[in-house]
Structure 1
Amino acid sequence: MNSEIRVRDPAWLTNHIFGTLQFYYPRCIDYRNGGYFQCYLDDGTICNNQTKHLVGTSRFIYVFSVGAMLRGDSWCLQAAEHGLSYLQNYHLDINNGGYFWKLNDNQVSVSNKYAYGHAFALLAASKAYQAGIPCASHLIDYIYNILDQYFWEPDHGLYLNEMNSDWSIINPYRGQNPNMHLCEAMISAYEATGNHKYLERAYILAYNVTLNLAQQSEGAIWEHYDPNWVIDWNYIETNKEMQQFRPQGFIPGHSIEWSKLLLLLERYKSESWMIERAVELYNSALKLGLDTEYGGIYYSIDREGKVLESDKYYWVMAEAIGASALLGTRLKAFTYWRNYDALFNYAWNYFIDKKRGGWYEKVNRFNQKVGNKKSPVTKTDYHPIVNCYETIRALTNL
């Protein structure tokens, strides 16, 4: 694979996105019960036909909306509309407002409301509206208002994490992860509508996480906080299903993801600290997380800089590819494109299923694939698609 010719080519990246979408479509469409099937083995076999997760539903809406924007294919638009219908008919809490976290056979199985889930619902609605689905417009306003009413903590300029179904109980846990994805969703909402309130909210989130909160951890991005947004160094998530949303240690992939978001934000509201922090977060993440012996980026690092989890995850590689492309185009620096080529080659060799489409979820330190479940519930290859899409935008000034 000649990466310098191919993976920097917008046409190649577009084809790669559609190769990934076609791993899922049409098998992902649940025509009988609505929504999408959200769990797949390597060969595309559906491995769970009951669970419908708010994050998975929203991510599918997003990726099909991107497909519709890139090529205008009607099947992409119809697939996105199919998901929006399910979002409103089943995930929506018609009594109390907001969206349920998880359903099983169309019945609510986890009724709590999560800022993380609402971030992806907002992202999905924004991209669907951009793709040409008019009804998504009112969802953008609705979700923003729900977030503002129940999750927003104005004294801190951040969103709390979790409430129960009727909004009467607030979980004391606070996390940076939902605020990161809410920053992403707010940027997307601004791009879809041109309404500056979304851009201002994205700015506040980026400033407070990457500058204010990071002062507590010497400039790094820590995951866990108490109700006053003071670092909780000892928090360990015991609910296995929630560990992917509340990971232990420093997560190099999240520093890289923030680097990318700062570059996206800087397009519309440019301040010098954004580029400086983007470069710092990117470089520090690679310094700590890059496996110089076997390639790839470690998943998590402890406070002393030692590796906590040495597995390499698809989403970390995808975010590193996207951040490298945005830094390369913004700063016109060869080193970032060199990283981009190396990271994409690594993903090509170990993560990308060149025969059937899609990315494998993770490999161990020695680049051996872990398990035969390509796409567990919530994955949907959102991260590879969004980062290929943002790279296309950066290369073509879309």
Structure 2
Amino acid sequence: MTRRATPVPVPWPALPSHRAWLDAETRRLLRFGAGAALAGGGAAYLDETGRPDAAHGVQTWITARTAHVYSLGHLLGVPGSAAVADAALAGLAGLLRDAVHGGWHHAVSASGEPDVAAGKSCYDHAFVMLAAASATVAGRPGARDLLSEATDVYLHRFWDDAAGRPVDAWDSAFTALDPYRGLNATMHSVEAMLAVADASPPDEAAAWRARAGRAAAFVVALADVHDARLPEHFGPDWSPDLDLNRDRPADPFKPYGATPGHGLEWARLLVHLDAVAPDTRLTAAAVALFDRAVADGWAADGADGFVYTTDWSGAPVVRTRMHWVVAEAIAAASALFARTGEARFADWYATWWDYADRFLLDRERGSWVHELDQANRAASSVWPGKPDVYHALQATLIPRLPLAPTLARALREGALR
């Protein structure tokens, strides 16, 4: 067991040999995920071996993540990536797009029926923006038009300019707005808005970064009030609902309590924003979020790994270990080391790659095991299979790129180390 960071004599992010290892892992992940491309357009949810799992239909968030990841693969010069990106983009332009009411369905079933009951979510639409932005930077056909449509839908349906953050969900026809507001959709909106800025003309870019900054300012304030344990769920006036899903704590999208993984993901995003719109409060808040996530989440129950959720005192609630949390921990540690130069972040970075290598990297079937139980054994209580490679792949790229611009733009500019 490794409760504390293991000091390393030379910071791993500075080692050419480590960067070569990261490059090999990037390519291994891209090989696994390439099976998601569907002949009719879109990207499949993948099983443990990388085969499409038709039971999940074609989902917008999976398809958008695939378009984003393989646009990055194309910019990396990995053969075959463009075809996967284009298949995913075709799904966003066709199968998953709601030609009647606008926006994107959450999913389409194996029989071709849209999931109308799921409505239209900000989470899905943020990923469509991210996909379109990365594909635009990568020069993929049709991406610029998709970006224009996605940003238009987002601004008209999801962005609440008065609040300075997005609403969460509508019904399928965009006639009834759900009263729920969520920090998860806000987080992925910030990620997407920064990417959109890097795919836009200067005047539009400034507006997108300003929107991202307003949403981030809300998170900075939340972190200060709640001892860096971020509330995830809110009412229509953005008052926190700290008890939501107390009876269903492992909900995959709306879990009860604080989510250390989101604290880490927000920490990274705040550092990226600080790099393009300097504000000392952003990195200070990022450090607080990082430290809280580590103190509450890492090896909190006696075994290595991050627990999925905690209560508001920091005690573990759902002890399952999710692969995406480790990926975001790696990325956050890398970003904070780059921003501050503090050795402790590089030490945690090395510790978490060691953990990933020991428990998550699946050398036999590919990709990363997506979920572990509290004894670090493979599990599937929340996320069956290995749906996509988005989080893991970004963990291999962020340590090799500057804090700004965002991934696709940085790759296009030749900034990869």
TM-score of the alignment, normalized to the shorter chain, above 0.5:
yes
The 3 A distance-change label for structure 1 pair 237 and 131 is: farther
- Structure 1 CA distance for aligned equivalents of residues 60 and 216 of structure 2: 24
Contact in 1 for aligned 2:248/2:256 (Cα 8 Å): no
Residue type of the alignment partner of 1:390: I
Q: Determine which structure has the larger strand proportion and give its number.
A: 1
Residue type of the alignment partner of 2:60: L
Q: What aligned pairs does 1:353-392 form with structure 2 within 5 A after superposition?
A: 353-371=362-380, 376=385, 379-392=387-400
- Structure 2 CA distance for aligned equivalents of residues 253 and 373 of structure 1: 15
2:317 alignment partner, SS class? strand
2:208 corresponds to = 198
Q: Deviations over 1:363-382 (max 9, x none)?
A: 111111114998648x3021
Contact in 2 for aligned 1:350/1:367 (Cα 8 Å): yes
The 3 A distance-change label for structure 1 pair 397 and 276 is: farther
Q: What aligned pairs does 1:23-172 form with structure 2 within 5 A after superposition?
A: 23-25=32-34, 27-31=35-39, 33-41=40-48, 43-48=49-54, 51-71=57-77, 73-105=78-110, 106-110=112-116, 112-172=119-179
Deviation at 1:28, TM superposition (A): 2.1
1:245 corresponds to = 253
Contact in 2 for aligned 1:39/1:375 (Cα 8 Å): no
2:44 alignment partner, SS class? coil
Q: Deviations over 1:57-78 (max 9, x none)?
A: 101111111111112x341012
Unmatched tracts of structure 2, length 5 or more: 1-7, 404-413
Deviation at 1:349, TM superposition (A): 0.3
Task: Provide the aligned length of Structure 1 versus Structure 2.
Answer: 390
- Structure 2 CA distance for aligned equivalents of residues 271 and 228 of structure 1: 27
Q: What aligned pairs does 1:303-382 form with structure 2 within 5 A after superposition?
A: 303-371=312-380, 376=385, 379-382=387-390
- The range that moved more, 359-368 or 335-344, is 359-368
Residue type of the alignment partner of 2:234: Y
Q: Deviations over 1:117-136 (max 9, x none)?
A: 00100011111111221521
- Structure 1 CA distance for aligned equivalents of residues 384 and 373 of structure 2: 16
Residue type of the alignment partner of 1:350: F
The match for 1:217 among 222, 226, 230 is: 226
- Structure 2 CA distance for aligned equivalents of residues 282 and 7 of structure 1: 26
The 3 A distance-change label for structure 1 pair 133 and 238 is: farther
- Structure 2 CA distance for aligned equivalents of residues 156 and 201 of structure 1: 10
- The question of 1:18 aligning with 2:56 is answered no
2:362 alignment partner, SS class? coil
2:136 alignment partner, SS class? helix
Contact in 2 for aligned 1:237/1:243 (Cα 8 Å): no
What TM-score do you get using the length of structure 2 for normalisation?
A: 0.87
Identical aligned residues as a percent = 26
2:401 corresponds to = 393
1:234 corresponds to = 243
Deviation at 1:304, TM superposition (A): 2.2
- The range that moved more, 248-257 or 140-149, is 140-149
